[in-house]
Amino acid sequence: MKNKILIIGQKGFISSNLIEFFNNKKLKVHSISFENFINKYFFYENKFDYIVNCSSNKSFIKNKYQLRNDNDSIIAKKIKNSKAKLVILSSRKIYKPKFNIREFHQKKPNCNYSKNKLLSEISVERLLMNRVLILRISNIIGLPIYHKRKLNRTFSDIFFENVKRGLIYKNKKVYKDFVSIKKFSEIVYELIKKECFGTYNVSIGKKVYTYQIVEWLNYHNHNKVSFINTKSTFNNESFTLNNDKLMSQIKIKNDIYDLKKECILISKKFFIKK
């Protein structure tokens, strides 16, 4: 693949994994903070084919939508007259939770972040049309990365934070849709390689019960833990994303077996110290 890629946001969970994956593929990839991109855009103009925005900010997550807090739209305005295509990371939370959600299904964002993400999608599509790739992402599983500016906690973040205290929350009735960070990085690579645009659900597209993920992530933990059932609203939202549109484009292996294998590998890296 000859595309030159710029990743905005350098130290986050998704960005750092994408950078590592792209480097392993020998791609021409450069990373920069959002602030430096805005201040030095003239230097980066027309030098990249794809810009992947992994940045966000606390005001966008916590407050009512304002354009000044929407990093995706700010970047889209900057590159409107360039050749670059923009990849934005959206959320499955913009949908009403249910089984087998397709990209055109009802939007019912139920938190501030998801409401803002939907507005951001609309804004960016108006600016860039067929030069934007929107990824509506399910729960991403990966080894936690800790840094002081972290804004979002993933399912695996919460699991590993609790397991350090000897606690594991389980609910055998709840299922969700997951994707490993390794598989997510491969998906982004393949979509860019095929120069896709539009909106895609990113997931394995299957029911995965939370107790299964917990067992896989805890596979190499030899310490005693207490299993606690939880009835919080978050943990009781069952859903799956239909990924037929995605898989028809990239045609890679993306199944529960791969997810299980990756979770067990993550468990090994976390619990077995070298």
Closest alpha carbon to 206 in 238, 178, 232: 178
What would the pLDDT profile of 90-113 be if each residue is shown by its tens digit? Answer: 999 999 999 999 999 999 998 999
Question: Which pLDDT score is estimated for 149?
Answer: 62
Beta strand pairing status for 175-176 and 208-209?
A: antiparallel
The segments of the chain whose pLDDT lies below 50 read: 233-234, 274
User: Per the structure, how many domains does the chain have?
Assistant: 1
The answer to whether the beta carbons of residues 58 and 116 sit under 8 Å apart is no
What is the extent of the structural domain holding 206? 4-271
CA distance 203 to 205: 5
Q: What is the spatial distance between Cα 44 and Cα 132, in angstroms, rounded to a whole number?
A: 18
In CATH, what number is assigned to the domain containing residue 162?
A: 3.40.50.720
